[in-house]
Structure 1
Amino acid sequence: MTDTNLQVRSGVVGGTLLSTALNISLHDVFFTIVMAVIGAVVSFGVSSFLKWLFSSKRKN
C-alpha cells in the first residue's frame, strides 16, 4: 500500500511540475527576473535611506 501511495504522489507531483514548466513562456521568465531586480534595488535603496536617516538623527 505504501509503494502505491508513493507512486501516486510522485506521479501527481511530477505531472503538475511538468505541465507547469511547459506552460511558462520565456516572456514570463524575463518579466519575473526584471521584477525581482527592481524589488531588490528598491529594497536596498529604502533600507540604506532609513539607515542614513536614523543614523543622522542620532548624531544631532
Structure 2
Amino acid sequence: MNNVDLRMGTLAGTVLSVSLTMNIENLLETIVLAAIGASVSFAVSLFWKNICKKEKE
C-alpha cells in the first residue's frame, strides 16, 4: 500500500462520515455564516484601506 492510497482512503472515509452526519439545515447555516463572515471581512478591509489612505494624505 503506497502513500497515495492511504491518503485517498483517509479522505474518502472522512468525507463519507461527515456527509452522513450532516443535514441540510447545518449545511445552509454554514453557507450563510461563511457568506456573512466574508462580507464583513471585506467591508472591514475596505474601511481600513480608506483610513490608511486618508492618513497618508
TM-score (norm 1): 0.72
Question: Unmatched 5+ residue regions in structure 2?
Answer: none
Can you give the 5+ residue segments of structure 1 that lack an aligned partner in the other structure?
none
Q: How does 1:30-49 map to 2 (within 5 A)?
A: 30-49=28-47
Cα distance, 1:16 vs. partner? 3.6
Larger Rg: 1
Q: Which runs of 4+ in 1 moved over 6 A?
A: none
The root-mean-square deviation of aligned C-alpha atoms, in Å, is 1.7
When normalised by structure 2's length, the TM-score is 0.75
Identity of aligned pairs, percent?
A: 37
Residue 32 of structure 1, CA deviation = 0.6
